[in-house]
Structure 1
Amino acid sequence: MDSYAAALEGSRSAVVGSHTLRLPDGMDACRSGDCLGGMVTADAMLEYARPYGAVMALCNGGGIRAALPAGDISRGHLLAMLPFGNTLVLRDYSGEQLRQALEHGAGQEGAKGPRLLQAAGLRYVIDGSRPAGQRIVKAEVIDAQGKAVLLDPNMRYGVILPDYMARGGDGYAMLGGGQPLPSPEPLDVDIVEAYIRNHSPLPMPITGRITRTGLH
């Protein structure tokens, strides 16, 4: 047991990268708007999945369980941030299914909570003063060159997301109806670790993915 514990601790303490960014982060931040952990996770997912046909990445804010600390980032920090060992899958959705997912994410009190969607390749505006189900006033798909186009309810989009959500978890029944697209199915923490290793020290992510208007 001592030998196993020592090996585990060695793995957890291995440094995978660093950052010096000052952005909101942690459980509360990721359930209310843009947060560093959510943006880095979604960016890592999308960079990995673009070659397989993904144009956006989604993950629920409640899946981010700790902040990404400034300074050196260890494997243990990533396991604390993403502790559930989610497999990432690629699915094809209509714009209407994605709009419903965004509404579901903003449907709780104050348009905040663990269902709120962290995203890459997508930005959206929430009006918290409107009734649940009518709070998404604008949603845009952002391509690899940064060009924004309104989400089209009739178009199909390749999305990488945790298998938990693709199975309809957290009330995301509309995401349970996606069509599978061929791709590997890696663990979220492995993809984020590879991304941080490749981009360390982490650059400032593109913010403004979740914008709030009306009542907050």
Structure 2
Amino acid sequence: MCNQLGCELKGDPREPLQTSFLHPVTGEKVFVVMDACHMLKLAHNMLQAYSPIATATTGQINWRYINHLNDVQKKDGLHAANKITDKHVYFENHKMRVSLAAQTLSRSVSVALRTMRDLGYSQFKDCEATAEFIEIVDRLFNTMNGRNPRAKGFKAPLGALNWMERKAFLSRAREYLFTLLTKDGTPVYQSKRSIKIVLVKFMT
């Protein structure tokens, strides 16, 4: 549909994409933005399918830390302020449920992973890259999905007061996503499960 309307979203993401088309009556530009909920599900499913994923700086992003977190919480009978359960780990029959993706790739899970590491749980020793990935994706989702005018932080909608801060974050997040590599060294954005974050026009 986007291509039929005059957009081009399949090129090299490092090059400017054609993310708008002209309204046939007014001649004004109409911009296309990917559905944030669907993009979150793609990121979630990609993490589980492609782990481990290499980053340029902090090591490997790995789904196994989600497994470890669930195992520890089940064993101890306590949750570290997150909603991870078996249904989040074994989600094969529920890949289209946004709630599972949102609860897995959430700041609370990122904080929980780092907390387990800081408490000395050996299985979380190298979880920083995973925690960072989850935190960035959570912020991207909140930025693109924000609609409550009373919300704060990254859940607040884009506006004049937070635009420069958000623009800087979106630029950093975009470059970060370009650094991610699959096991065979292929950039994730060139893989079959590419994550296209169409933010080019926001940053120009």
TM class by smaller structure: under 0.3
TM-score (norm: length of structure 1): 0.27
Bigger share in helix: 2
Bigger share in strand: 1
